[in-house]
């Protein structure tokens, strides 16, 4: 982001060398023998030592199954594929991308077969790559319950589209003021600028070099304030997560987590906190201080605008109600592609058919349809479901935390998020990669992943906003 443009190739070479050395050292016989010796030495499942051995053994075993050159072949195909995808999207020409996608799917099948899966579903191996322990069956059982309800909610808000006017968000908001306001929000939520920074980039992301150097980025649209504020709050959630690792796990090898756990935190901040009335009770007057033209607007108008829901074509622009359906389309198509039940040339039509069934709209072009995301071009198969799994778990957590600390949302109206961030650190963030997604859900709720709290949240909130 702040590296000179001409430096990219040199940095890429350095990273490739380091990644190769890391793979070679980590997958050595010696590390395997050491881990095996330590297996079972530390009795307490929750101890740092037992967790480090358990998690690293799991990773060692998996990485040993990969053909040594497969990762670099995927990286190479991904960098060529990404360029083809950029051109295909620019010119709205799926045919340009098709051979690259076919090649990438072949490589992903090779990867999945090398890793293997207990169920026989190849897709499970890819899901496991992004969040250990996830399977198609596990995710499908929750998505299946959610899908008809989300379709019904999407219809309900679409029929009442005029009920919410979000034009206030689309006024002119100077970029500098958006950044400063975003910084104030991120700091209030608990993101530590002594150990982090906020920069601009074409898409928002978080980079954690270590727990005391965690950087976030956002994009800014001067004519739509939702883009940067939503992005900053989401990435601040990732940032707080990475800054809150227990010092005892620092440089332990299990400092990071899978994506579903990471998305639970970012979506908690973005949706549960950042879209709430309590949050804006405190921050709307602050917004008025940064953007004087908001003097003519009131809190309720602002809150409703921020929560406008409607079927839309682009996943990254989707709201809380419709977002899940965008994910389900990708999840279902990935499963079919990886298992050889769908050909790449059938993909654009299948995409559009599902958009029509789930969201009631059809992309007029592939650019606004199957070509919109970069993930597949770089081999990110099995990545998408984690966004929605995190969103679902965030609602479960919200119900748990609210039941145990009933005053916590009252704090939000005063701009005080210490209790909430403290609860999330205690429950999830401090643990790094100790526990799987499923383990964290059971430890925190005593139950498995459930779509019910998320549905209750959507029905209550959007029922009130849209009066159904």
Q: Which of 30, 76, 235, 332 is catalytic?
A: 235
Strand order across the 206-210 sheet: 198-200, 213-218, 206-210
Q: How far apart are CB 238 and Zn ion at their closest, in Å?
A: 6
Closest CB to Zn ion among residues 266, 322: 266
**Whole-number Å distance between alpha carbons of 217 and 225:** 15
Q: Which residues contact 336 (CB under 8 A, 6 or more apart)?
A: 342, 350
Contact criterion met (CB below 8 Å) for 356 and 364: no
Q: How far apart are CB 221 and Zn ion at their closest, in Å?
A: 19
Q: How far apart are CB 403 and Zn ion at their closest, in Å?
A: 26
Residue nearest to Zn ion as judged by C-beta position: 266
**Whole-number Å distance between alpha carbons of 161 and 159:** 6
Chain residues in the site for Zn ion (CB under 5 A): 266
| Residue 102, both tokens | 């076919």
Q: Which residues contact 192 (CB under 8 A, 6 or more apart)?
A: 240, 243
110 given a catalytic annotation: no
Q: What is the CA radius of gyration of the chain?
A: 22
Task: HSE, CB side, 13 Å, CA atoms: give it for residue 80.
Answer: 13
Closest CB to Zn ion among residues 303, 383: 383
Q: How far is CA 170 from CA 68, 117, 166, 175, 369, in A?
A: 50, 48, 7, 13, 24
Q: How far apart are CB 123 and Zn ion at their closest, in Å?
A: 22
Contact criterion met (CB below 8 Å) for 179 and 231: no
Closest CB to Zn ion among residues 154, 266: 266
**Whole-number Å distance between alpha carbons of 258 and 260:** 6
**Whole-number Å distance between alpha carbons of 168 and 212:** 38
Closest CB to Zn ion among residues 54, 267: 267
Q: How far apart are CB 170 and Zn ion at their closest, in Å?
A: 24
Helix H or strand E segment including 210 = strand 206-210
Dihedral over alpha carbons 19, 22, 27, 29 (to 10 degrees): 150
Q: How far apart are CB 458 and Zn ion at their closest, in Å?
A: 20
Closest CB to Zn ion among residues 381, 384: 384
Closest CB to Zn ion among residues 266, 396: 266
Active site positions, annotated: 235
């Amino acid at each position: 982001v702040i590296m000179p443009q001409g430096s990219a190739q040199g940095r890429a070479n350095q990273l490739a060398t380091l990644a190769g050395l890391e793979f070679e050292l980590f997958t050595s016989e010696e590390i395997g023998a050491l881990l095996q010796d330590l297996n079972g030495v530390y009795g307490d499942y929750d101890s740092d030592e037992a967790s480090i051995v358990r998690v690293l053994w799991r990773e060692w075993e998996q990485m040993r199954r990969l053909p040594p050159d497969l990762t670099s072949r995927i990286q190479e195909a991904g960098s060529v594929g990404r360029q083809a995808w950029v051109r295909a999207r620019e010119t709205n020409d799926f045919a340009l991308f098709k051979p690259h996608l076919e090649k990438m799917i072949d490589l992903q099948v090779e990867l999945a077969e090398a890793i293997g899966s207990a169920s026989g579903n190849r897709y499970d191996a890819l899901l496991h790559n992004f969040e250990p322990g996830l399977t198609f069956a596990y995710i499908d059982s929750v998505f299946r319950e959610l899908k008809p309800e989300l379709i019904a909610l999407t219809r309900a808000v679409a029929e009442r589209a005029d009920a919410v006017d979000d034009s206030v968000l689309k006024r002119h908001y100077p970029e500098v003021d958006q950044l400063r306001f975003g910084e104030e929000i991120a700091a209030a939520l608990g993101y530590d600028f002594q150990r982090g920074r906020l920069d601009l980039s074409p898409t928002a992301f978080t980079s954690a070099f270590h727990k005391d150097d965690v950087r976030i980025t956002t994009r800014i649209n001067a004519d739509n304030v939702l883009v940067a504020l939503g992005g900053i709050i989401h990435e601040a959630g990732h940032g707080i997560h990475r800054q809150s690792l227990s010092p005892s796990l620092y440089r332990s090898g299990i400092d990071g987590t899978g994506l579903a756990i990471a998305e639970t935190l970012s979506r908690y901040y973005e949706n549960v906190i950042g879209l709430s009335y309590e949050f804006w009770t405190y921050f709307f007057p602050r917004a008025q201080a940064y953007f004087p033209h908001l003097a003519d607007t009131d809190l309720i108008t602002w809150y409703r605008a921020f929560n406008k829901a409607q079927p839309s074509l682009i996943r990254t622009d989707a709201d809380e109600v419709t977002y899940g359906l965008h994910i389900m389309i990708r999840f279902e198509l990935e499963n079919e592609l990886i298992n050889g039940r769908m050909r790449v040339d059938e993909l654009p039509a299948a995409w559009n058919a599902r958009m029509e069934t789930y969201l009631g709209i059809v992309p007029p072009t592939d650019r606004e349809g199957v070509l919109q995301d970069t993930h597949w071009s770089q081999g990110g198969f099995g990545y998408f479901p984690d966004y929605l799994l995190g969103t679902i778990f965030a609602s479960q957590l919200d119900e748990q935390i609210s039941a145990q600390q009933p005053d916590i949302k009252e704090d939000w109206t005063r701009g005080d998020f210490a209790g909430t961030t403290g609860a999330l650190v205690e429950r999830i963030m401090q643990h790094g990669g100790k526990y799987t997604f499923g383990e964290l859900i059971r430890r925190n709720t005593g139950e498995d992943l459930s779509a019910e709290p998320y549905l209750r949240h959507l029905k209550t909130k959007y029922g009130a906003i849209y009066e159904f």
